[in-house]
Structure 1
C-alpha cells in the first residue's frame, strides 16, 4: 500500500475494525462511478454494495437495477441508514466537503473521488475530522496502485536512468460536452481539479514530500469562467524539477517521463490504464532503447482492496494524512501563482 491517500483509525483502538464484508453506500451517480468505481466495489468479495443514492429517483433506480442494490433518493437518506459501514463519494468536487463531512459525522469510513475537496482549508478540516473519529478517509488516486508505477520506482532505485533530474507529466483530452459539470465553476469545474490533479500527484509521488510550485499558468474559458488548460513548474528541495501540463482543450495525452543523468524513462497511459491493457515502459539511453511490457492490472480493484484492508484493520495506515494535505497544498499553490501571474 502506498503512503499516499489514507487517513485511518488511531492505533490505540479508538474505533473497532469492520468485519467483512464491508457494507457500502454510494453518494451520487457520476459516470466515473458507473464505469469504474462501483464495478470495482461489487467485484470485491469483501464488499457488499447496499445502496446507491441520487437526487434523482430515476437515476438512483437505474444504477440500483444495474448493480443489484437498493435505490435511495437523496444523499441524506442514505446516511440515515443503519446498514452501511462506508461510503463511496463520486460527487462533483465542490460538494465533497459537505457530504464527506456528513458521512464522517455519522461514523462512516469514506472513499472519495479526487480532489478530496477544493481547498487546503476544506481538506484539513476533513482529515482532522477523520483522524479524530478514528475513521478511514481515502482519496481515490487509483492510478498509484497500478503495478506499473511500483516497477518504475524499482527501476529508478536500480539506476536505470541514473540520478533523477526532471519530471514531465501530462494529462489532457479533447473538449467535453458544453453541459458537462466541468464547465460549472460552482461545482468545482475546470481542468485543474479534473485533469491537473493527476500530474500534480505524480510529481508528489516521484519528487517527494517537499516538492513546491514555482510558477503556474491557467487558460480560462471566457464563457464558463473555468480553466480549460494549464501548466505548473515545480521543484524538490534537492533540485529535481518538474513541468506539469493539463487540460480538456487539446488532443489526448496521458503520460509522464522521468529524465535522469543517463537516460529517459517514459510511461504511457500513466493515469488511466484500463484493466486489460499491458502497459509499456520505455527506457532510452544514449544509443540504446528498451521497452518493458508490464502485466495487465486493475488499479480500481487494487484501491478498493486497499481501502477494505484499512477499514477491516488488516493493514495500518498512519502517513496518509500528510499526502492528502500535500496534494491540496500544491493545488492551492497553483491557484495562487496563477492569480499572481494574471493579476
Structure 2
C-alpha cells in the first residue's frame, strides 16, 4: 500500500495500523513537502516522496489510502483507480454526488475496490445497539444525532472552501450516515440550516431535519463552534437508547449505552473495540479478494445524495456580526461557499 497525503488522521491513526498490519506492506507515503514525507516515511518504515503521482504510478502497489482534503478526493482517487489501484479514501468520498458516482462507476468498471473510510461504522457498539432495538426501542419514532468539536486551527483546510472545507462535509456527514443505519428507505430532507462564516466562506455549524418512509424523523446537529459532542439516540414506542461516544470512541474505551423505558433506566457497558483496526482489516480483506463491496458502495452513494439534498434545501444564517441574515444556499462547489 501507499499513502497519498500526511494529514493528521493518517499519521496519528491510520499509518500506525497499516505499518503493523500482518497483511500490509507499507511501501511509500507522499506529501507536498519532501522533508515531511521523509520524516513520516522514516517513522513508519517506508519511503517518503514529495509527489502524489509518483506513488500512484508505482508498479509495486496494489492499493492506496487517500487522506487529502475532501475537495481533492475525486481527482486523486480517480487517478489511482485508473492506475489500477484499489482505493481507501477518507470520508466523504468526494464533495458532490456526481463526483462520487463517477468514482464508484469507475471502480466497478475496472473491478477495483473503492471504500469510504467511515471508521465508526466498524465499531462493534453499533451492532450491539441494533440487537437492542426491538426490546428497548420498539418502533422508531425519532433519531437524534450530534457531532461537534471546538474551533479548529485557523489554517486548517476545514476553513478553506476550495479544498472542500466546512462543517457539513467534515462532521455533519457522521450523524447523516448514522441516521441511515436505523431509518427506513430513502430519507427526505424536511429542512436544514447552515451557519456561514463570512471571513472564510464555509459553513461552521448546522442542523438538519429528516424523515423516512415510515414517518420517523431525525434531528441532527453539527459544527466547529461547540464543546465536544459525539452521540446519537433512538426513541421509539417502547423506550429510548442513547450512544454516548458514537463516532470517535478511543479503542481502550468500553462504550456505555443508556436504555430508558417506563420506570427503568439501565446503563450497559459494551466491550472495547478498535474501529480503526476493523476498518483497515475490512479494506485489506476486500482488496486482497478483489471483493465487490456492493451494499457499502450503495450506501456511500445514498450518503452523497443526501449531502447534496441538504445543500439544496438549506438556509444559510450568517454569523452574529452579520445580523443573522438568511439567504438560500445554492450548494455550488466544495465547502458550500
Same fold (TM over 0.5): yes
Which has the larger displacement, 310-319 or 266-275?
Answer: 310-319
Q: 1:39 aligns with which of 1, 10, 16?
A: 16
Correspondence 1:26 to 2:3: yes
**RMSD between aligned alpha carbons?**
1.3
Please list the CA deviations of residues 145-172 of structure 1 after superposition, one character each: whole Å capped at 9, or x if unmatched.
100000001111x421221111000000
Q: Distance in 1 between matches of 2:222 and 2:48?
A: 36
Structure 2 counterparts to residues 208-247 of structure 1, below 5 A? 208-247=184-223
**2:188 and 2:29 mapped to 1: Cα distance?**
39
Q: How many residues align?
A: 319
Deviation at 1:306, TM superposition (A): 0.6
Which residue matches 2:231? 255
- 2: CA distance between counterparts of 1:265 and 1:249? 26
After superposition, residues 6-25 of structure 1 pair within 5 angstroms as 24-25=1-2
Name 1:287's counterpart in structure 2. 263
- 1:43 offset after TM fit, Å? 2.5
Matches of 1:175 and 1:114, distance apart in 2: 20
d(CA) in 2 for partners of 1:304 and 1:116? 16
| Corresponding residue of 2:332 | none
> What is the CA deviation profile of residues 90-118 of structure 1, one whole-angstrom value per residue up to 9, with x for unaligned ones?
00000001000000000000000000000
Tell me if structure 2 keeps the 8 A contact 1:209–1:326: no
1:205 corresponding residue in structure 2: 181
Instruction: Map Cα deviations across residues 153-211 of structure 1 (whole Å, 9 max, x no partner).
Output: 1111x421221111000000110111111110000001000000100000111114412
Change (3 A) 1:190 1:316: closer
The residue aligned with 1:5 is: none
In the alignment, structure 1 segments of 5+ residues that lack a partner are: 1-23
Residues 42-96 of structure 1: CA deviation (Å, up to 9, x unaligned): 2221111111001110110111011111111110111121111000000000000
Contact 2:193 2:208 in 1 (8 A): yes
1:113 corresponds to which residue? 90
Q: Which among 309, 320, 327 is matched to residue 342 of structure 1?
A: 327
Corresponding residue SS for 1:216: strand
Deviations 1:230-287 (A, max 9, x none): 0100011111110011001111110001001121100011000111111101101122
Is residue 63–residue 87 contact of structure 2 (8 Å, CA) maintained in 1?
yes
Q: Once superposed, which parts of structure 1, at least 4 consecutive aligned residues long, lie more than 4 Å away? A: none
* Rounded Cα–Cα distance in structure 2 between residues aligned with 1:123 and 1:263: 37
- Please name the residue that 1:16 is paired with: none
* Inter-partner Cα distance in structure 1 for 2:121 and 2:295: 15
- Residues 105-141 of structure 1: per-residue CA shift (max 9 Å, x gap): 0000000000000000110010000000000000001
